[in-house]
Amino acid sequence: MKPASSDNGGAVSTGAFPPGPTEMGEGIWQNYLFYRRFFKDPLSHVTRWMETYGDVWHFKIGDSHNYAVANPDVIYELFVRQAKRFIKGPAYTSRKSGLARFMGDGLVTSNGDFWKRQRRLVAPAFHAIRVHAYADTMVDYTLKRLEAWNDGALVDVDEEMMELTLTIVARTLFDADASSTVSQVKKAVAVVQKANNTASILPHWLPTPLRLRSWRANRALDKIVYGFIDQRRATGEDRGDLLSMLLLSEDEDGERMSDLQARDEAVTLFLAGHETTANTLNWTWWLLAQHPQVEAKLHAELDAALGGRRPKLEDLRKLPYTDTVIKEALRLMPAVWSVSRTAAKDTEVRGYPMPKGTTAQVMIYLLHRHPDHWTQPKAFIPERWLQPEIEQLHKYTYLPFAGGPRVCIGNSFATMEANLLLATIAQRYRLRLIDGIEIKPAALITMFPRDGLPMRLERRPAVTRTESQEVDSVPFSMLE
């Protein structure tokens, strides 16, 4: 779908809405029945709609206008040029039906000056120098986890990756041991995912089974995070980590953050900081298992550059292919497959009218597979990231971490972590799919393997060289 006209700087539009599906129906009951069907398989629905209507389409839910967008120019307007006119809408901020039920007023779910202040406060924990200091911890935790792995064993890789990334985020950002919380957090994450993607026409206070589970999940998250906060308050110590920043920093009026606000930020970072990276690794293992040539090339790079020793931060420069494997997994299977923005005032985006309250769903999954921008869009080809043509790509065609002022704050943390964990594990193990078990993606808030990721471990022969071969170093974006 091509834009009707160029941007008019946000003036109210007289243009018409583009076409789109009407399967949602008109009344509440019809909407409800539609969404019950939709949430069973959102990816097939949106893929079909893009094939039918192009990369910008319109649909109505009740009286509200909605768009689905996989067009880089339109996304640039939403994320950057008109970022001030688009805010996080009720799917994030509503205490009745949005993510705020769990994350409160944290970074993901807040807006305006409040968000800006919080982002400024949290940002130092994600500066390059701080993030780089986490590298050894990430590898330590991975090696420790691998001590329990055995050749030939069947493991649920999803559980392994979740536990690993959860314990890493707790140690690096909160200097806490989260190993005993794993099963509670896992249950809470499942509830958060479902609660935001379940159609309901019942009043919000009615204690349905899912709502009871949501309240329970919130109590579990509170207990874990207030545990971190209480422990730190008890010592009064400034350990210079994110938690100390949250508890000790003062605003312009000398006010400290309340416990509730510290809780909201901590829960946000605890949840946003592990599940996404775990799923990125899940999809990477799944793709590698189906592409033995890519896997062999990855192993060759790791063996040549590391010679069997554990990877360090500086080694990432010698592992350009490893980085392309992660990049390509994030393209084909972006853990955050869709995000939304809501018009805070009447505006127009590239000729598309967006009255106040219009919500635009940015379809990252479809953008990354857009046939106008990617050759062989559905194929897993890490090499594409090493071709000169990749430089010509529209910058807003690849957005695993979104973009503009609300770009993922953990972008570098996650990139470094995914590279280090992939390198450490792939040095030692191949992960094989099990015959007869099909892995299906579920797409709720994040995209994850619907029924877990059972795989068979195959120990790789040890690399005997003690010294790695001379390998050319290339610039690694994280280290520049």
Q: Which residues bind ligand HEM (CB under 6 A)?
A: 107-108, 119, 169, 268-269, 272-273, 276-277, 280, 335-336, 339, 400-402, 406, 408-410, 413-414
Tally the residues of the chain: 480
Coil vs helix vs strand at 440: coil
CB closer to ligand HEM out of 408 and 457: 408
- Least Å distance, CB 111 to ligand HEM, is 9
Shortest Å distance, C-beta 115 to ligand HEM: 6
Residue 201's nearest CA partner among 419, 34, 1, 13 is: 34
Closer residue to ligand HEM, CB minimum distance, 35 or 448: 448
Q: Which is nearer to ligand HEM, 182 or 471 (CB)?
A: 182
- Closest residue (Cβ) to ligand HEM? 410
Please list, in sequence order, all residues whose beta carbon lies within 8 angstroms of the beta carbon of residue 59, skipping any fewer than 6 positions away. 20, 21, 22, 24, 66, 67, 68
Give residues with Cβ within 8 angstroms of 203, minimum separation 6. none
Name which of 192 and 335 has its Cβ closer to ligand HEM. Answer: 335
Q: Show the tokens assigned to 477.
A: 């974006």
Backbone angles phi, psi at 200, to 5 degrees: -150, 140
- Whole-number Cα distances in Å, 330 to 239, 336, 443: 33, 9, 14
- Tell me how far, at minimum, the Cβ of 308 lies from ligand HEM, in Å: 27
Q: 5, 101, 65, 42: which is closest to 363 by C-alpha? A: 42
CB atoms within 10 A of CB 463: 17
Cβ distance to ligand HEM smaller for residue 265 or 303: 265
Least distance (Å) between residue 94 CB and ligand HEM: 14
Shortest Cβ 336–ligand HEM spacing (Å) = 4
Query: CB 432 → ligand HEM: shortest distance, Å?
Result: 24
Considering the complex, what minimum distance in angstroms separates the CB of residue 428 from ligand HEM? 22
Taking the complex as a whole, how short is the minimal distance between the CB of residue 126 and ligand HEM, in angstroms?
7
| CB nearer to ligand HEM: pick between 287 and 409 | 409
Nearer to ligand HEM by Cβ, of 104 and 400: the residue is 400
Q: For residue 149, what are the CA distances in angstroms to 142, 263, 307, 349, 463?
A: 11, 35, 21, 52, 18
CA-to-CA distance for 319 and 303, rounded, in angstroms? 10
Say what the alpha-carbon torsion angle 103, 106, 110, 113 is, to the nearest 10 degrees: 160
Identify each DSSP E strand in 138-190 by its residue range. 154-156
Q: Can you spell out the DSSP letters for 15-84? A: PPPPP---TT-SSHHHHHHHHHHHTT-HHHHHHHHHHHH-SEEEEEETTEEEEEE--HHHHHIIIIITGG
Q: Residue 256 gets which letter from DSSP?
A: B
Our CB check for ligand HEM shows the closer of 195 and 457 to be: 195
Identify which of residues 74 and 414 has a Cβ nearer to ligand HEM in the complex.
Answer: 414
CB of 168 to ligand HEM, least distance (A): 9
- To the nearest whole angstrom, how small is the minimum distance from the Cβ of residue 241 to ligand HEM? 12
Cβ proximity to ligand HEM: between 367 and 457 the closer is 367
Number of H helices and number of E strands within the chain?
18, 12
Q: Which is nearer to ligand HEM, 282 or 347 (CB)?
A: 282
- 170/302 with CB nearer ligand HEM: 170
Calpha distance 107→99 (Å, rounded): 11
- 105 vs 92, 101, 112, 219, 294, CA distance in Å? 10, 9, 11, 16, 42
- Nearest approach, Cβ of residue 229 and ligand HEM (Å): 17
Radius of gyration of the chain from its Cα atoms, rounded to whole angstroms: 23
Distances (CA, A) of 127 to 72, 174, 304, 418: 28, 16, 31, 17
Nearest distance, CB of residue 273 and ligand HEM, angstroms? 3
CA distance 279 to 449: 8
